[in-house]
A and B are shown apart, each in its own frame.
Chain A
Amino acid sequence: MQGIDQKTYLDVFEQKLYSLRKLKQDLQRGLPAPKPEQFLRGLDLIIDAVETFLSRRVDNLRARFAGKPQELAEQIAFHAKVALRILGSLHQQYLPLLHAESQRNEYLFKPSIEQAVGLFTNSRFELTLLPDFLYNYAFDGRENFANSEVELLEKNSDPDTKAALAALRSKAALTQWIVFLHFPVADRDSALNLCVLAHELGHFVDEISKIYKSLLPIELDKSSFDEFVEARCNTPAYGGTTSKPGGPRLTFEKIFTRDGVQARCYLSCNEMLERWIREIIADILAIHAIGPASYFAFNDFMAYMGAENVTSSSHPVPAFRLKLMLDELKETMGYLGSASAVDKVLGEAMLRVTVGAASVKSRYKDEAKVVQITIEKTLTSLLAKIRPVVSAYSFNAARYQGTVPGILERLKRGIAPIEVLDGVRTKVVPASVVGILNAGWELYKTDIAGFYGQFRDDVPEMERFASLNHLLFKAIEASEVKRRWK
């Protein structure tokens, strides 16, 4: 008991229910069209369900515990807390997404993203792009997100309340994936930087296709794992303090036994392995989907983040990932085999990244060392299982050469590359979005001075750079319209 009476809980619940419902309506009114209908219906479902749950439960409890005021108060307080927790999650997790969405600006590429994701899934989904002040790109996919909140209420319900909640769920009929793609608000006007979204979309494709499940479990590298367990067994517990001077040294092994330490190590290694594998899947899907543009954007993103060349519990080391992308471009997609401008840039990057990836090897420790070695030993078979998912759409070197030069030619002259001649040069067709993005990156990496040269001398360099991104956005938007025009 926290010394808070049931009346306070119920009053607070009423007030918060009212204020959150109003806040949601206010935010909803501020949303630009088209509104995320499924997400909004999900929020309504949660709010209605919480209200139904608590009012019904309180009535039920009052009948059941009549004459037992102490027990009744405790029961009501417990149920009110369950309901308040759900409202808290609505406030903290979901409404900020609605708020962020009301700030959205120029999502001229959203139709193209939806089109691209549609190639990989027959599932219906609702995609929302969320500018974020955290400088990060992230995927946040929720399948039937509201239903899971309501199911939590059902667990704490009597049969009648359960039935009422189930009826609400059924009425809301939430069946779609709700996909949020977070991106740094500072990148909202940069078509080049936003190419990092391809990686996040890779996570979505992985999530719906369950690629990671087909790759896991993977047997951990025995030698490095044994070494890790041994080190962990001998690690002093509690910062190395002993029970008394001269007494036995307290280690993890002494506290948990060797089997216990091994089990914990096994668990932590596998958790890290799954996270890293999922990042690798997204990297590979992205590099196939949009080719060198994915590498260039990721490279710039790492630079802006000031990312150190070290591992984290969630991601493999940056140099390893960059090398993985370049290797994929070279070995599977046919890049780095010619004297073209883009191959030259990629070749120079390969030299740097190879050194970076090698330099970090000696610094892998603990779980990261086990996971890294495990991945390196199984990488060939991992990649062989990931590639088929995207191979039909792979933006390989042949596709690059077939699409990018024509687009690039226009872009160089300050023309939005919306349409180009088709492969046999007889018909004008909409330029491919992936071709547009790669042409943008090639121009930026190889001849940006030439592009800047067509502006008046008094135009600041960053405005000239902004012009490049504007042309790319325009081309992406208008080519998509042309593709859909009947």
Chain B
Amino acid sequence: MNPGESSQAAPHLPDGAVLSKGTLKRRLRGDLIISPILDESQIGEGSVDISLGTRFIRSRRSKMTEIDFPGLTRDDIHSFQESVVAPFDGQYILHPRGFVLGCTFEFIALPTDICAFILSRSSYGRAGLLIATATFVHPGWRGCLTLELENLGEIPIILRPLSTVGQLVLLSASKLPEQPPAKLIPVGPMFTTLNEDPRWEKIQALCSREGTVVAETRKPR
């Protein structure tokens, strides 16, 4: 059977149970995709090591006076962030207090009965590199995961694509009735989409009823 072709008949696990190494290996030959697995040792008890990808989104100086998400357009976002690529034999230098969005090198596709959490590698944390991320990955999710990287130390840190930056802890979940439709299938880090959050409108409506305007569209001057 081709990897990812169909779900394997698997013993039922309670929701939230961490998948064992044996289960992970079996599911990776079926409908669970974490690819490429460069070393078998990446697969551990309940988790799979993940590596840094080659694409980044970095911040740049902008004429924007502040980031206020309601009313922000895609052009606004691109005015203070830009995509860059560091080839897999290259590097990205993250300066002190620098912030960059990275991504996992592995392409991940979770079946509809598995969810995951990303944990950053503590060794990096001890060197001052914070790898924070939206840690929960929904069942049925496809793509490369965005990583938020920040250098909290005092000297530049060289980020090398393909280095191990964290682990994906995989858990069983109640099976979704069907694969959810995709908005995007990212293969690199994602620009923020917070500006599209429908809740802004509700907040605005609420505030205007109260006679207050909290969210204005601010354009770069």
A410 interface neighbour in B1, B2, B55, B90, Cβ under 8 Å: B2
Does the CB pair B185–A105 fall under 8 Å? no
In Å, the complex CA distance between A210 and B90 comes to: 35
Asked if B69 lies at the interface with its beta carbon under 8 angstroms from chain A, I say: no
In Å, the complex CA distance between A106 and B56 comes to: 11
In Å, the complex CA distance between A425 and B5 comes to: 13
Among B3, B186, B188: residue with most chain A CB under 10 A:
B3
In Å, the complex CA distance between A457 and B183 comes to: 9
Give chain A residues whose Cβ lies under 8 Å from the Cβ of B184: 459, 463, 467
Does the CB pair B35–A478 fall under 8 Å? yes
Does the CB pair B107–A406 fall under 8 Å? no
- Interface residues of B: mostly helix, strand, loop or mixed? loop
In Å, the complex CA distance between A87 and B153 comes to: 47
Does the CB pair A105–B107 fall under 8 Å? no
Give the residue name and chain of the B residue nearest to A475 (CB). Answer: B107
Asked if B33 lies at the interface with its beta carbon under 8 angstroms from chain A, I say: yes
Expressed in whole angstroms, the minimum distance between the Cβ of B129 and any Cβ of chain A is: 21
Does the CB pair B85–A105 fall under 8 Å? yes
Q: Give the tally of cross-chain contacts (CB within 8 A).
A: 105
User: Residues 445-483 of chain A: 1 if any B CB is under 8 Å from the residue's CB, otherwise 0?
Assistant: 000000000111111000100010011011001110110
Among A406, A470, A482: residue with most chain B CB under 10 A:
A470
In Å, the complex CA distance between A414 and B184 comes to: 10
Known A421-B2, A421-B3, A481-B162; judge A455-B183 contact (CB<8 A).
Answer: yes
Query: Which B residues between 1 and 50 are near A, CB-CB below 8 angstroms?
Result: 1-5, 29, 33, 35-39
Known A34-B89, A470-B185, A481-B36; judge A410-B179 contact (CB<8 A).
Answer: no
User: Residues 400-435 of chain A: 1 if any B CB is under 8 Å from the residue's CB, otherwise 0?
Assistant: 000000100110011110111100010010100000
Does the CB pair A416–B4 fall under 8 Å? no
In Å, the complex CA distance between A32 and B91 comes to: 11
Asked if B214 lies at the interface with its beta carbon under 8 angstroms from chain A, I say: no
Asked if A304 lies at the interface with its beta carbon under 8 angstroms from chain B, I say: no
| Chain B interface size range | 35 or more
Give chain A residues whose Cβ lies under 8 Å from the Cβ of B38: 481-482, 485
Known A421-B2, A421-B3, A474-B107; judge A415-B182 contact (CB<8 A).
Answer: no
Does the CB pair A406–B36 fall under 8 Å? no
Query: Which B residues between 63 and 108 are near A, CB-CB below 8 angstroms?
Result: 83, 85, 87-91, 105, 107
Expressed in whole angstroms, the minimum distance between the Cβ of B167 and any Cβ of chain A is: 19
Asked if B142 lies at the interface with its beta carbon under 8 angstroms from chain A, I say: yes
Does the CB pair A108–B54 fall under 8 Å? yes
A414 interface neighbour in B1, B55, B90, B142, Cβ under 8 Å: B142
Give chain A residues whose Cβ lies under 8 Å from the Cβ of B142: 414-415
Give the residue name and chain of the B residue nearest to A104 (CB). Answer: B85
Does the CB pair B187–A471 fall under 8 Å? yes
Does the CB pair A467–B36 fall under 8 Å? no
Give the residue name and chain of the A residue nearest to B39 (CB). Answer: A485
Expressed in whole angstroms, the minimum distance between the Cβ of A404 and any Cβ of chain B is: 12
Give chain A residues whose Cβ lies under 8 Å from the Cβ of B36: 418-419, 430, 478-479, 481-482, 485
In Å, the complex CA distance between A458 and B193 comes to: 15
In Å, the complex CA distance between A481 and B39 comes to: 12
Among B38, B83, B87: residue with most chain A CB under 10 A:
B87
Asked if A107 lies at the interface with its beta carbon under 8 angstroms from chain B, I say: yes
Among A105, A106, A458: residue with most chain B CB under 10 A:
A106
Expressed in whole angstroms, the minimum distance between the Cβ of A273 and any Cβ of chain B is: 41
In Å, the complex CA distance between A473 and B83 comes to: 15
Asked if A66 lies at the interface with its beta carbon under 8 angstroms from chain B, I say: no
Asked if B145 lies at the interface with its beta carbon under 8 angstroms from chain A, I say: no
Does the CB pair B187–A473 fall under 8 Å? yes
Asked if B211 lies at the interface with its beta carbon under 8 angstroms from chain A, I say: no
In Å, the complex CA distance between A87 and B144 comes to: 48
Does the CB pair B87–A33 fall under 8 Å? yes
Expressed in whole angstroms, the minimum distance between the Cβ of B72 and any Cβ of chain A is: 18
Asked if B181 lies at the interface with its beta carbon under 8 angstroms from chain A, I say: yes
Other than the given A409-B5, A455-B182, 13 more pairs (CB < 8 A) read A106-B55, A108-B85, A108-B87, A415-B107, A418-B35, A418-B36, A419-B37, A420-B3, A454-B179, A456-B181, A457-B181, A470-B188, A481-B162
Residue ranges of B at the interface with A (Cβ–Cβ < 8 Å): 1-5, 29, 33, 35-39, 54-55, 83, 85, 87-91, 105, 107, 109, 142, 144, 162, 179, 181-188
List of 5 A-B pairs having minimum Cβ-Cβ separation, nearest first: A474-B187, A416-B107, A482-B36, A418-B35, A456-B181
